[in-house]
Amino acid sequence: MNPIRYLITAVIALSVTPSWAAPMELSESDIITLARKQNPTGKQIEALRKQGRLQSTLSHERYSTNLVSSANYTDTNEQALYPGAVVFGPTKTVSVGIQSNLGKGFSSKLAVSNDQRSTTDGLLKDFTSTNFEASLTMDLWKNFLGSLDQAEVERAFAEQQRNDIEAQIQQKSFEFELRKIYWALVANEQSQGLAKGLLKGAKRQLAETERRYRSSVADVADVARLRAQVVSRENVVKALAFQRTQLEQQLKTLLPELGSHDIALKSVKLDKIVADVMQCTVSIQSRDRDPLADTMYKESLALLDKQHRLDRTITETYDDIDLSLTGAYTVLGRADAYDESFKNVYDQPINGFSIALSLTMPLDQSKTRSKLARLSLEESVYQAERQKLVAQLAAQKQSIGPQIKILYETIEHQKRNTQLLKKSSIAIEKQYRQARISIMELINEQDSLQDSQLKEVDAYLLVVNTLLDYLRTFNQTPCPLNA
């Protein structure tokens, strides 16, 4: 067998292989329900939410309470350099404590430590010191009264809120994308119905012309032209069928749950859809012209502004000095054994108190230069994101009115054109039967009617897509299509 013919036969065989999966009938509401179940896009949206929650959780780690501990053992065979010099041999130290950030720029630490050591000459054996210490540290500059900590926590929470809003926007956008595919399927079904009807009419005309040819009333050229018309219309039907498979593929890619099913559409009340589209158009044209009205981006932008303000507050402290004050109170017990040293903490305590001031200050301008660079970068990113979004919202809101008006005018003209071509087609067919015109004039007229009818369906789909694109952004607009 010819290899090319074999390949074509194999492809056709695969294409007609029956599907054993039950067909699934879908409506627009079914599509939306599936969009809200588990699917790859939904998981990506959920990941966005989790990312914001993670950042907020991480920001609170600074207030966590931690157990801090250490243990150490040292020994030496060093000899004293001169008589009476003390050289410690085995030394054991253990420390356990709890450290906590109290907020408002304060941190505290409660600890108990034990130190046991002996001298190499044997004069001291297991001399043990047990120390209880409570300390409080206060930031006096960069994080005074917890201003920096609070800014970082608020910034992380604002990011979490914004991610939640962005996730809601993305979910709505995903649903509108699926709805556009659904309405493309509806339009394709309508177009296929028209194309099949016209194909049926072409076959009827061909059969009649072949009968007339056998009666020597029509010539062979008329039969050939009508056969060509049938083939042309069969190609239109096949092209629409191919388009449907592409649309189904898009739908199954976004909704893997449909992957094993054939897809069928539930009946659609086109009159209601047209009425809903008209109602949405009226509602949109009467709404506030503010680009941030009827959209969740208004809340998102407010949170973006807050994030930028807090980012600036945090970055401004980048080259500040670190100045802190620490006060510590200690109680010490000493003895020749562990248990005795603990007991002496209560019986013979040695009390102590200390105050320490800590200062870290940059001596060059490197941190200041870094701070200015970060401030400039943050401002540029913020302004670019904000201005781009506001410009997109404003342009879309301002253009929707003229766009809908032009599309409706196009539909009305297309409907009028189709009505006129229907009348003309009937008259032309009558004239052809009376042998007053050629077969080519009849075919051209019928092709014009088919083209007009298909364009009318495309025009309706374009209106629906335009409205869905608008509602995808302005998803708070009261409108029947804004499910």
pLDDT of 377 strictly over 50: yes
pLDDT per position as a tens digit, 254-313? 998 888 888 888 888 777 887 888 888 888 878 777 888 888 999 999 999 999 999 999
pLDDT of residue 19: 44
pLDDT of 375 strictly over 70: yes
Residue % of the chain over a pLDDT of 70: 92
pLDDT of 384 strictly over 90: yes
pLDDT per position as a tens digit, 65-119? 899 999 998 887 766 665 656 667 788 899 999 999 888 889 999 999 998 887 7
Beta bridge partners of 147: none
Domains of the chain: 19-56+151-309+374-473 (1.20.1600.10), 67-146+326-365 (no CATH)
pLDDT of 5 strictly over 60: no
pLDDT of residue 167: 92
Nearest in space to 331 (alpha carbons), one of 355, 361, 352 = 352
pLDDT of residue 249: 93
pLDDT of residue 283: 83
pLDDT of residue 138: 94
Torsion angle, CA of 277/280/281/284, rounded to 10 degrees?
A: -160
